[in-house]
Structure 1
Amino acid sequence: MSRGKSTNNLKRSSENKNPRGDLLIVVEGEQTEYNYFDSLKRELKLSTIKIKVVSANGGDPLEIVNTAYDLYRQKQYDQVFCIFDDDNKPEKYKQALSTAKGYNFESVTSIPCFEFWFLLHYCYTTSPFSSYDELRPNLESEMRKEGILRQGENYNKSDKLLYQKLKPNQEKAINHAIKLEQNHPNENGCTKPSTKVHILIDKLQKQKNFE
């Protein structure tokens, strides 16, 4: 599908304080991020917003943004959020950030991976993890301390109950993410480590409170 169409009609309501109308969230795969945001959607039960969570079937960051654009052309969503990490593909990642900005979509990024957001539920850290494989042992250790994982049990990316397990520490994670942004500004979306997941969650929670 051609993407040469003018993007003027994409300059919609993403700059509003809170979302309204139809909201599209596009994630990389069908497991971790999809299950997390689908669970969040089900929990909030927002009456003023229709949220659609879609998987880009494992595409790289740029493919996630392009998938979001294709879906946007089919239905004029009021806001579009693209969930992706750097995936050890820095050029694709930077292209995705630029392309999403051009479409007026919001990039909800995490570096090095989405699981960094999970780690912030248990501890504040500025360790510059280079990959998911480097971060995972830290996450597993913290989850064992909390009793989320048994000794010898490994983190499972496809666990459909992850959101529910993490929820009790959500405010802690948000505070840790805010503190991280204050100490290590992430204006260009490329700071390591970093996450912007809390920004989307905060917007949706404010909308729930507004209702």
Structure 2
Amino acid sequence: MPRDAIPFERTSSVTDVRKIFLIAAEGFKTEYYYLNALNERYGRVCRLLPFKRPPEEASHSAPNKVLEQLKREASKLNLKKEDSCWLVVDRDSWGQLLTKAINECKTLKYNSIVSAPCFEVWLLFYFKKLDELSEDEKSKLILNEYVTTRETYIEKLLTSFMKEIRLGQYKANKELPEFFFVPNNIQKAINEAHNIEKMEILNNGSYEFPTLIGSQIYKMLSQFFQENLIGEHTL
């Protein structure tokens, strides 16, 4: 089955690529565009390697299905011990399917990344801290219902924040403005996501992933930036 992935060579003309992060994301396009853009800008010695699912599998977004695709892609590559595999999924309403996929990742020594309720909450952290939002806004974030036929509450909120600084409208499955790839802006999101998770862990001894509001994307990007010597990393 042919795949649509970033062309990869472990050796570049500038330096040797020491690590790759092979990534299977639930989102068919948005996450792929975002991670691909990060890699193009910063992937010098450590590279992100997301891949698009084949069109006939685009609707197979359940965590176990995405994990199957990740395992299949990993088997095609000559991964080294310093490389890693990452499952990037949304909390959604997957229930036990999500828990089982995360447990299998542990067995396989893969990394699991969960965003709640969806990937776009990570982009909100570029603009706001969670405690800056009203309780009504938080409740609507958790539900993330459609407010128009094509736009969820989080997408609408993102658009409002983006328009405040003249970035236009947020459009799912489209490439993002350069604002989202500025290291200081990414670091702001990393700090907020990390702080939220720290509080969750303190309040829940069995915590594994965000179930209400949060994103573990920060874990992957912190490692990626640290390997590539980009920005400041205190995690």
Q: TM-score, normalised by structure 2?
A: 0.71
**2:69 match:** 67
Is residue 179 from structure 1 mapped to residue 195 from structure 2 by the alignment?
yes
Q: Which of 149, 168, 171 matches 1:156? A: 171
Name the residue aligned to 2:3. none
1:167 aligns with 2:187: no
Gaps of 5+ in 1: 1-18
Answer with 117-126 or 130-139: which moved more: 130-139
Q: Once superposed, which parts of structure 1, at least 4 consecutive aligned residues long, lie more than 6 Å away?
A: none
Q: Secondary structure at the match of 2:143?
A: coil
- Residues 94-114 of structure 1, C-alpha deviations (whole Å, 9 max, x = no match): 222112122111011101000
Match in the other structure for 1:96: 101
Provide the C-alpha distance between the structure 2 equivalents of 1:73 and 1:163, rounded to a whole number of angstroms. 34
What is the CA–CA distance in structure 2 between the aligned matches of 1:163 and 1:61, rounded to whole Å? 28
Whose RCO is larger (CA < 8 A, sep 6+)?
Answer: 1
Corresponding pairs, count: 186
The question of whether the paired residues in 1 share the 8 Å contact of 2:25 and 2:88 is answered with yes
Sort the Cα spacing of 1:88 and 1:105 in 2 relative to 1 into closer, same or farther, 3 A.
same
Alpha-carbon displacement from aligned partner over 1:133-156 (angstroms, at most 9, x marks no partner):
23222222212222212xxxx420
Unaligned runs of 5+ in 2: 1-16, 132-137, 146-151, 231-235
| RMSD across aligned positions (CA) | 2.3
Query: Match of 1:204?
Result: 224
Q: Secondary structure at 1:30's aligned position in 2?
A: coil
After the TM superposition, which residues 100-139 of structure 1 pair with which residues of structure 2 at under 5 Å, given as runs?
100-125=105-130, 127-128=138-139, 129-131=142-144, 133-139=152-158
CA apart distance, 1:76: 4.2
Q: Decide whether the 8 Å contact of 1:23 with 1:52 is kept in 2.
A: yes
Secondary structure of the residue aligned to 2:66 is helix
Normalising by structure 1, what TM-score?
A: 0.78
Q: Residue 7 of structure 2 aligns with which residue?
A: none
CA contact (8 A) 1:110 1:197 kept: yes
